[in-house]
Structure formats: structure tokens, C-alpha cells
Amino acid sequence: MLPNRRSCLKAALAVPLLSTARGRADEPPRAAAERIAKAMEAPVLRTEGLDRPVAIRSMELLRNGREFLVRVRSDDGAEGLSVANSMHLIHTYPIFLNRVAPFFRGKDARGLEPLLWELYRHDDNYKYQGLALWVCVAAAEFAVLDLLGKVAGKSIGDLLGGTQRREIAVYRASGNRGNTPEEEVAYLKEIVAESGAKALKFRLGGRMSRNADSLPGRTEALIPLVREAFGPETTLYADSNSSYDAAEAIRIGRLMEEHGYAFYEEPCRFDHLEETKAVADALTIPVAGGEQEFSEERFRWMIANRGVDVVQPDLHYYGGFIRSMRVARAAHEAGMLCTPHMSGSGLGYLDAAIFASCIPNPVPFTEYKGSADVPASSDTSSLKVEAGTIRVPSGPGFGIVIDPTYVREAKPVTTT
Ligand SMILES: [Mg+2]
């Protein structure tokens, strides 16, 4: 069953088989599980060439309007800057200020990777595990990576093992529910035309809705209608956001198979791993999931047990590039593909593109939800999606300059 499903996955995602197929059909399950666990534990961060300590002197949280930035400075005066996931940090920033930023002060930034584990243990931080902790850790990790990149003269992709591609094709994702199928098709036409994307994603079901649709019959009408409107050349993905139980998810998935969809995201409640696996086992369309996942052990389980076919860590919700890269590499070891879930706000689309530029096993299209909320420029990229593709910057760190006036006008955030 599994090799068959894997072949279907490759066919549906149009990825050359040899580029990712590392599953071994005759291997005992235990040996495969050990191989996957080892891939997940292997170090990610490359610090060659950083011969002297990069001591962190300060880590500040800044705010300009709704957006949050993190600025980290070393004793030598080097600086790293990141754009946080403001949509969630606005509610969780005391965790950043009280539990995350103070931990990094005085530490050698070159030890970032082992420090992530120490931070997780430190002062019982693991008890806060979930988006509330990991969005804060990701904001810090991004800034430290930018700092290290600037000191080493390397891009983030190169710090994470090496940029493998710089032109990232995107899929345009719609966030609508509750509109009519005809209205949604008109909207999809508009946003796909703006971006030039060759792939798109829209929403099915009612979101955590126990099988109820957002409008009666919307999903069954929309699946064939979108295919008809965009023709056979467009790659179509759809996301139920945890709408269904397994039986209903399979019924909807069959309809997607009939119309040649390329993946089916979060068919069942995101934390119902058995039901999600049952759907992945039953269908030939690849099942994608993982945007809400925050546990390394559960991701490892999902990969080792083929609980989904495509893993989707969110760089912010899951705590940063390094942890997400471990998931991508473990999935690669299992012959599975990975695609980042894109968080809204900030520069989420750029973070996702950078990740897709350096993982071994991306799907052909990476998520894009529209333009940036923070003014930034780059010498090596327009930072825009043009003809359905974004070029990943090649300069040190993120390879971008955030408008200095915007940064100057951002005010330090404190808990008092
Ligand atoms: Mg989703």
C-alpha cells in the first residue's frame, strides 16, 4: 500500500521520483524509524568560518503600528533584525520579553542550535509549548540567524546547509469561506492573475466544523468548478482546516481525486492523528498537514508512520528555521515532501520562500498570501512575486534592508 501511495504522491506533485524517493520498501519498519529519528536529530546550523565568539549583548522587541521587530546586537557591534509574526506576538509578547529575550543575553550566537533546546528546558518553558512559546522563539531565532549571517557573510539558506534554488514558484492561497462558489472562483481569478501563479489553494468545509460546510453544498460545487475555471494546467490544492471526520474527509477527498487536485490539507482535526492517517491511507491524493504542530516528537511520529504525505511546518508557529529544517530532512529521509505553511503578517511570504530555497524536498509551489506588511528592499531580489515566482535574496542573513526610517520609528516594547 505504501509504495503505491508514494508513487501516486510523486505523480500528483510532478516531482522526479529520484529526487526524493529514499524510502526503502524492504526495510524493517524499526530500521526506517531509526533512520528518520536520526535525520531529525542531525545538526542543521553551519558555523564554519565563525572563528570567534559572537556574544549577544542585547535583544530588543520593537513595535511600529501592528508590526513587531526583533533587534539583536553583539558585543562587536554587529546587528541582526527580524520581522516577527505580529498577528500572534501581539497577544504573546510578554513571553518573548520575560522568558525568551533574557535567555539569549550574554550567550554565544554560534551555539544557537543547542541553545534552542536549552531555552525549551529553561525555567519550565516547555510548559508553555505551543504557538505562544514558539512564535516568540522563532522571532528570536530569526534575528540571531540574521546576525550570524551578517557576521559570516552568508545567507540564511547557506547557514542552514546550503541554498539549493533561488527561484521559488508560488501558489496563491485564498482565505475565503462562506462566499458562493461563483464568487470564490471570481476572486481566485483575480488573485491568480495579479501574482501570475500557476497554482492556487482555496478553502473547503467550515473550519473545525464537525462536517458542516460554510454554505450548504459549497464544497461539492467548488471542487469541480475551480478545475473547470482554471483548466488542467493549473495545480490545485485545497484546505479543509480540520473540518471533517475521517468518513466525510474521504468522501470529499475522492471528489478532489476525480478532478486532479494535487494535495488535500488538514482534512480532519489537526490533532486527530489517527483519523488523519486513516484518510491518508485511504486516498491516493496526498494529504498535507502540520501547520498547528509544535511537537518534534509528534512530527517524527507523523513522518515515521506516514500520518500525512506532505509535512507543513509553520516557520513561526513551530519555532523557527532550524526546527523546521529538521522536519523537512526527516520527511526527506522517509521519501516525503515538505512545504512551509505561510503565516500571515510581517514578511511571512519571504520566510517561506527562503525555507523552500534550502530544503531538500519542497513541493513544486510554495504558499503566498499577498504582499508584505513591512517596507523592505534587497539588492539581489525585487522581493515581489513576478510571473508566479519570487527570487530569494542572496545577501548575508535575510539579504534585505528594512527601511531605516521604519525601524527608527519603531518603539521598544517593555512589559512595564
Ligand atoms: Mg492550512
Residue-wise pLDDT for 170-227, tens only, equals 999 999 999 999 999 999 999 999 999 999 999 999 999 999 999 999 999 999 999 9
Closest among 243, 234, 229 to 177, alpha carbons compared: 243
> What is the whole-number distance in angstroms between the Cα of residue 240 and the centre of ligand 1?
7
What per-residue confidence (pLDDT) applies to 28?
86
**How many Å lie between the centroid of ligand 1 and the Cα of residue 241?**
5
Count of all residues that appear for the chain in the document: 416
Cα(322) to centroid of ligand 1, in Å?
A: 21
Separation of 49 CA from ligand 1 center, angstroms? 39
Ligand 1: distance of its center to the CA of 153 in Å? 35
pLDDT score, position 3: 41
Please answer whether residues 276 and 308 qualify as being in contact, where contact means their C-beta atoms are separated by less than 8 angstroms.
yes
The pLDDT value recorded for residue 19 is: 33
Cell of 310: 506532505
Asked if the model's pLDDT at residue 10 lies above 70, the reply is no
Measured between alpha carbons, how far is 133 from 135 in angstroms, rounded to an integer? 6
Q: 139 C-alpha to center of ligand 1: Å?
A: 21
Could you tell me what percent of the chain has a pLDDT over 90?
Answer: 90
Look-up: residue for cell 482546516?
A: 241
Residue 393 near residue 155, CB atoms below 8 Å: yes
Q: How far is the CA of 393 from the centre of ligand 1 (A)?
A: 26
Report how far ligand 1's centroid is from the alpha carbon of 404 (Å).
Answer: 34
Q: What is the mean pLDDT of residues 317-327?
A: 98
Average model confidence (pLDDT) across the chain: 94
User: Ligand 1 centroid vs 266 CA: distance in angstroms?
Assistant: 6
> Residue 324 is placed in which grid cell?
523546521
> Per residue in 67-118, pLDDT tens?
999 999 999 999 999 999 999 999 999 999 999 999 999 999 999 999 999 9
Cell triple for 200: 492556487
pLDDT digits (tens, 9 = 90+) for 14-62: 443 333 334 567 888 889 999 999 999 999 999 999 999 999 999 999 9
**pLDDT for 356 beyond 60:** yes
**Can you give the pLDDT at residue 344?**
79
What is the four-CA torsion angle of 319, 292, 349, 71, rounded to 10 degrees? -30
- CA–centroid distance, 160 to ligand 1, in Å, is 25
Cα torsion at 61, 62, 63, 64 (round to 10°)?
A: -160
- Cα radius of gyration rounded to whole Å, the chain: 21
Ligand 1 centroid, distance to 22 Cα (angstroms): 27
Take residue 5 and report the three cell numbers written for it.
Answer: 501511495
How far is the centre of ligand 1, averaged over its atoms, from the C-alpha of 349 (Å)? 14
State how far the Cα of 274 lies from the Cα of 337, in Å rounded to an integer: 20
| Of residues 310, 313, 243, 311, the one with CA closest to residue 283 | 310
Task: Band the pLDDT of 415: cuts 50, 70, 90.
Answer: confident
pLDDT, residue 232, reads 97
* Whole-angstrom distance, CA of residue 135 vs CA of residue 291: 12
The CA angle 169-170-171, to the nearest 5 degrees, is 135
Q: What's the pLDDT score for residue 1?
A: 37
At 108-145, the pLDDT tens digits run 999 999 999 999 999 999 999 999 999 999 999 999 99
Q: Which residues, listed in sequence order, are joined to residue 353 by a DSSP beta bridge?
A: none
Give me ligand 1 centre to Cα 293, in Å.
11
Q: What's the pLDDT band for 289 if we cut at 50, 70, 90?
A: very high
Domains parsed from the chain with CATH numbers = 2-41+164-393 (3.20.20.120), 56-153+403-412 (3.30.390.10)
Measured CA to CA in angstroms, residue 282 lies from 3, 251, 309, 349 at distances of 13, 10, 12, 32
Q: Residue 13: its pLDDT value, please?
A: 55
pLDDT recorded at residue 23: 53
Residue 286, all three cell numbers: 496526498
Going from the Cα of 154 to the center of ligand 1, the distance in angstroms, rounded, reads 32
pLDDT at site 9: 52
Query: Which among 148, 183, 146, 161 has a CA at the least distance from the CA of 70?
Result: 146
pLDDT-derived band of residue 66, with 50, 70 and 90 as boundaries?
Answer: very high
**H-only helix segments in 153-207:** 156-159, 181-195
pLDDT of residue 168: 98
Report how far ligand 1's centroid is from the alpha carbon of 308 (Å). Answer: 13
- How far is ligand 1, taken at its centre, from the CA of residue 98, in Å? 30
CA of 27 to the centre of ligand 1 (A): 33
Res 22: pLDDT: 44
Query: What is the distance between the alpha carbons of residues 192 and 231, in angstroms, rounded to a whole number?
Result: 13
CA of 312 to the centre of ligand 1 (A): 9
Q: How far is the CA of 265 from the centre of ligand 1 (A)?
A: 6
Residues 173 and 197: their CA atoms lie apart, in Å, by 10
pLDDT at residue 4, rounded to an integer: 47
Cα 341 to averaged position of ligand 1 atoms, centre (Å): 7
